[in-house]
């Protein structure tokens, strides 16, 4: 199964996600990607700030799968908005490939590293010091997107897109865009279904990719999920991922477990009624929420230095933030 991007390129509907969690050895990522490629995954989602592109690259080379059969996504770090071309070259070198299928702006906020060289390189804004630029400061979203567009001409990327963009930040980007993003990757699962963003992206020819697509397995025991899973003889995560694929989005679940890797690439066909039940799970009291924590009320109404208003995220019933 694959989705056709707005440039004609096909992106497999399911990919393996390579964010392994803080402090997890990159060798785990190598083992996961190697097994994933062995059992048939052809879409890999990584990012420069996951710190494991070299290990993904090693697994790819050892797999023997021809490069042209793979769909590789990686992401521009927040600290690299002012050096897009150089950052891409670094990712290419680490992955050991000469082009990326999909290169995403990881977050709309740009971060500049500490003020002196002794502060070290800027890695990831919530892990290391750096100043988050406000939306009007350069490089703005528009500045960074123009540099992303130039990459297409160089042949080093086949498609460009964004991640963690809302209708608001996409609208800002589209104002001056020569190229419409092929993909927007956001947190998405039945508790945060992103119905409105999905409609917006469809109207603009942008495919949505779901990150945390099994909701980190935090609501697979929901009675509706269990009932549908039992009716089909599958697991809760398979129901949740099938919902994601069936609504025309791509899913990039992460699992280091070999059995679950197979499970996550085996989908079922859900009836219209079952799709509707899953579409509405977030309407149950207390269920509409983000699981990743980027939209948590603990963050005091901002995420990586921008307010929810600047990010285009809105308050939903119960005081929980959603896109
Ligand atoms: N663009 C962004 O800002 C962004 C942010 C977050 C994530 N992502 C991408 O999205 C990918 C996936 O997101 P995620 O890791 O946050 O969430 P996820 O894929 O929804 O969930 C991963 C968690 O669920 C467990 N799991 C996976 N499949 C399972 C199954 N079939 N049964 C039971 N448990 C299962 C995994 O544990 P085990 O490993 O033990 O199976 C892991 O703890 C990441 O790896 C990354 O590539 C992107």
Mean pLDDT by 10 residues, the chain (323 residues): 98 97 86 98 97 96 97 96 97 98 97 60 55 94 98 97 98 97 97 96 98 95 97 98 98 97 98 98 88 72 89 71 63
* Angle at CA of residue 210, ends 209 and 215, nearest 5°: 175
Provide the pLDDT for residue 23.
78
Provide the pLDDT for residue 117.
45
Handedness of CA 110, 116, 119, 121 (dihedral sign): positive
Cβ(176)–Cβ(193) below 8 Å: no
50, 103, 211, 308: the catalytic one is 50
Domain ranges (residues) in the chain: 2-217+245-255
Provide the pLDDT for residue 118.
46
Provide the pLDDT for residue 303.
87
Answer yes or no: is the C-beta of 28 below 6 A from any ligand 1 atom.
no
The residue whose C-alpha atom lies closest to atom 34 belonging to ligand 1 is: 217
Specify the DSSP class assigned to residue 134.
P
Longest dimension (CA), the chain: 60
Ligand 1 center–CA 240 separation, angstroms: 13
Say if residue 106 carries a ligand binding annotation: yes
The residue whose C-alpha atom lies closest to atom 23 belonging to ligand 1 is: 216
Answer yes or no: is the C-beta of 15 below 6 A from any ligand 1 atom.
no
Instruction: Give domain 2-217+245-255's CATH number out of 3.20.20.100, 1.10.3720.10, 3.40.50.1820, 3.30.70.20.
Output: 3.20.20.100
50 is catalytic: yes
Q: Are β-strands 302-303 and 306-307 bridged in parallel, bridged antiparallel, or unpaired? A: antiparallel
Q: Select from 14, 15, 17, 53 the residue to mutate for testing ligand 1; criterion: most ligand atoms less than 8 Å from CB.
A: 17
Q: Which atom of ligand 1 is nearest to the CA of 104?
A: 1
Beta-strand ranges (E) seen in the chain are 2-4, 10-12, 16-17, 43-45, 71-76, 102-105, 111-113, 130-132, 160-163, 183-187, 207-211, 250-251, 302-303, 306-307, 314-315, 321-322
Ligand 1 center–CA 119 separation, angstroms: 32
């Amino acid at each position: 199964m694959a989705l056709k991007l707005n440039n004609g390129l096909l992106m497999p509907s399911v990919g393996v996600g390579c964010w392994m969690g803080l402090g997890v050895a990159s060798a785990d990522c190598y083992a996961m990607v190697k097994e994933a490629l062995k059992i048939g995954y052809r879409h890999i989602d990584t990012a420069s700030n996951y710190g494991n592109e070299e290990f993904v690259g090693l697994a790819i080379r050892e797999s023997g799968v021809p490069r042209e059969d793979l769909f590789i996504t990686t992401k521009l770090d927040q600290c690299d908005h002012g050096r897009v071309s150089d950052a891409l070259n670094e990712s290419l070198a680490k992955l050991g490939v000469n082009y990326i299928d999909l290169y995403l702006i990881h977050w709309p906020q740009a971060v500049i590293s500490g003020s002196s060289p002794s502060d070290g390189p800027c890695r990831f804004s919530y892990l290391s010091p750096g100043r988050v630029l406000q939306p009007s400061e350069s490089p703005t979203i528009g500045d960074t997107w123009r540099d992303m567009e130039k990459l297409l001409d160089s042949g080093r990327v086949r498609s460009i897109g964004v991640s963690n963009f809302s209708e608001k930040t996409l609208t800002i980007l589209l104002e001056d865009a020569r190229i419409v993003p092929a993909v927007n990757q956001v947190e998405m699962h039945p508790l945060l279904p992103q119905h409105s963003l999905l409609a917006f992206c469809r109207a603009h020819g942008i495919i949505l990719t779901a990150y945390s697509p099994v909701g980190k397995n935090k609501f697979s025991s929901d009675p509706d999920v269990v009932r549908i899973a039992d009716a089909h003889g599958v697991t809760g995560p398979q129901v949740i991922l099938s919902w994601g694929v069936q609504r025309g989005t791509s899913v990039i679940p992460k699992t280091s477990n070999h059995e679950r890797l197979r499970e996550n690439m085996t989908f079922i066909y859900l009836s219209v009624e079952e799709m509707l039940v899953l579409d509405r799970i977030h309407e149950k009291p207390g269920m509409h929420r983000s699981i990743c924590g980027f939209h948590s009320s603990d963050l005091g109404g901002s995420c990586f230095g921008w307010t929810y208003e600047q990010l285009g995220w809105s308050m939903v019933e119960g005081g929980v933030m959603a896109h």
